[in-house]
Structure 1
């Protein structure tokens, strides 16, 4: 029994390590001169190739008919959940640091809760403890985001890493000669989370009408490949900018497409099925810790008080929102159980009345 519980834990830790590695490798690829639009385009192409076999072999016989309204919803999913989400994220990452990018990504549950309120997929329930926890958690997340975006504070002197990665050092030095907009970076990463949250709302409705997740993912990545390629061609005119001869560019695009867009989705879907969405989502702050350690050790990234305090507020707000959501689910399950018991008690009474009459 212990082994059964340990497998989802190990799987989610591996997923977060994979996402942290994607952030580091993608940052190095962009530091080498790769356009974030080119990176996103290649990622979707590799993701399409990686997810197509799952859609073809696993859902070939069970896949419902693909209609025009379904294609429209999948298109909206590709625009929000892939194109806008990843373009904003990687352009924001190019103008900030991996630690800031991962910290701001943790605001996703709070933004999703706000959109769910707007589209009436969630209830506020401000009089209950669960509703209060969700509201307070959302406000704390927003406060942490504002602090992390606009205040750095003094440098935290934890020394320098003894790990010497020559390639990363050269890329970091090269990037230091270019100006990064540290206000634009957090704003775009926040916009990326907002687009991702909007995708959750659209995807939830799509799942009820088209229960074929692998096919949906493949079509979504295919559409996003075309969208990203069109925008990327308009931004990056030179053919040399699309070259994958550089090792870090090839590694980062294949890694992001196969590991983070294909393998991670399959593993997370398995964990959601085994342990539920709440269990899967609580591991997201782990990526921030792993990324901060790797950025300090490999990229010589400096840590500041504002980043540390803002990240702590975001994580605290995240767990408050998740705790409130968990409480609501437990209360709903308890009410459903009571209604079922009341119905079972009423049936024998009704039968006795019918016999007596």
Structure 2
């Protein structure tokens, strides 16, 4: 009966995790819509990242202290290094490299490279043993097929627009390019651009490298935190990661922001920063970590290509922009891919169940044997660990039989 209830609880947690990941993508979709409106006259993107992370930290820190007080393991050098690595990759490196890559290339190219996140995540999860995929078995084929479907769907949404399914196709023209509009590029971009141009490096190529690095950083963040979640609470892990990530981002912003004018915000910019820090950063990263503990890094990453679809749907609802065929086809492929990976995991667990049941039945049978022979009783009670020393085993057995 206990096992039945445990299985039901695990299934309920799995459904909650899937719902949480869908909420995360909807939150990011809303964030993209708000950013398109709020950053038109725009805040310096580096300053925006600093303030967003600081807001997230002020939310996560107190919540983690109150919620996980008394249940957190003691901090050790291993945990501190892990939190620093998570902050460096998933927060600081992820945000900064995306900003650099976006400014050196284009929004379309940045969107086209984002499907690399689930690919990198799946490969890293295989390398670290947090995911398995045997091509010879049907469950392994389903997992690999699911990853390919998600990547294909994301590429279609990024590269193929198609005719408008909803809307006239003209009402959203004024929204094009708003995501990168605003104040001049952050100082590290201008400084770095001048240095690289003088060295003969093409900025487009550097931008591609930055975007690939952004995808790899996010994949590393998701995969590296997965084994840590078995021994450390998700909320506290997220808070510590943001402590290091926000610290690194603040140092970068303090050195390279153009001046006090960049830190002066309008009411619209303040609202955008608050939403980004509370919802798109604090809440989303916490839900990502909690879902990672239940579903694993591969499924967490496979939900990320749904962001463009969520953004398109919310843009259609609130901004009356058009919804195109490419978004519909790509979103459908991503949903099929998620189902394929989930089914593959379920099938893999079912294939492993018979051997586990046979072992469980064997152990239950052994424990229920009525052992009447004295010698067999001594052998059963002592177990195989004493057979390594025959003389000691025989001596103790003789004394027990004599008694």
Shorter-chain TM-score category?
0.7 to 0.9
1:65 aligns with 2:81: no
Residue 174 of structure 1: CA displacement? 10
Q: Distance in 2 between matches of 1:286 and 1:184?
A: 27
SS for the counterpart of 2:28 is: helix
| More divergent stretch after superposition (137-146 vs 32-41) | 137-146
SS for the counterpart of 2:134 is: coil
1:159 corresponds in structure 2 to: 167
Deviations 1:41-89 (CA, angstroms, capped at 9, x unpaired): 1111011100111222223323222122221111111111112223345
Q: Distance in 1 between matches of 2:328 and 2:216?
A: 22
Q: Distance in 2 between matches of 1:108 and 1:144?
A: 13
Gaps of 5+ in 2: 1-11, 186-202, 380-403
- State which of 287, 295, 312 in structure 2 corresponds to 1:277: 295
- State which of 209, 212, 227 in structure 2 corresponds to 1:205: 227
Taking structure 2 as the reference length, the TM-score comes to 0.67
Q: Distance in 1 between matches of 2:304 and 2:179?
A: 30
SS for the counterpart of 1:227 is: helix
SS for the counterpart of 1:211 is: coil
Contact 1:161 1:298 in 2 (8 A): no
Q: Distance in 1 between matches of 2:179 and 2:225?
A: 41
Which of the two has higher C-alpha Rg? 2
SS for the counterpart of 1:31 is: coil
2:345 corresponds in structure 1 to: 325
Contact 1:96 1:185 in 2 (8 A): no
2:51 corresponds in structure 1 to: 42
- Cα RMSD of the aligned pairs, angstroms, is 4.4
SS for the counterpart of 2:167 is: coil
SS for the counterpart of 1:114 is: helix
2:315 corresponds in structure 1 to: 295
Residue 229 of structure 1: CA displacement? 2.0
Contact 1:110 1:137 in 2 (8 A): no
Residue 203 of structure 1: CA displacement? 0.9
1:77 aligns with 2:77: no
Q: Which has the higher contact order (CA 8 A, sep 6+)?
A: 1
| More divergent stretch after superposition (306-315 vs 154-163) | 154-163
Taking structure 1 as the reference length, the TM-score comes to 0.74
Q: Equivalences for 1:199-278 in 2 at 5 Å?
A: 199-208=221-230, 210-244=231-265, 246-265=266-285, 276-277=294-295
Contact 2:167 2:320 in 1 (8 A): no
Gaps of 5+ in 1: none
Residue 305 of structure 1: CA displacement? 5.2
SS for the counterpart of 1:60 is: coil
Deviations 1:189-242 (CA, angstroms, capped at 9, x unpaired): 66544322211221123334x513333222211111121123334443232122
Deviations 1:144-176 (CA, angstroms, capped at 9, x unpaired): 445555x43644364348999xxx869949949
Q: Distance in 2 between matches of 1:81 and 1:139?
A: 24
Contact 2:313 2:323 in 1 (8 A): no
Q: Equivalences for 1:115-154 in 2 at 5 Å?
A: 115-149=124-158, 151-152=159-160, 154=162
SS for the counterpart of 2:39 is: helix
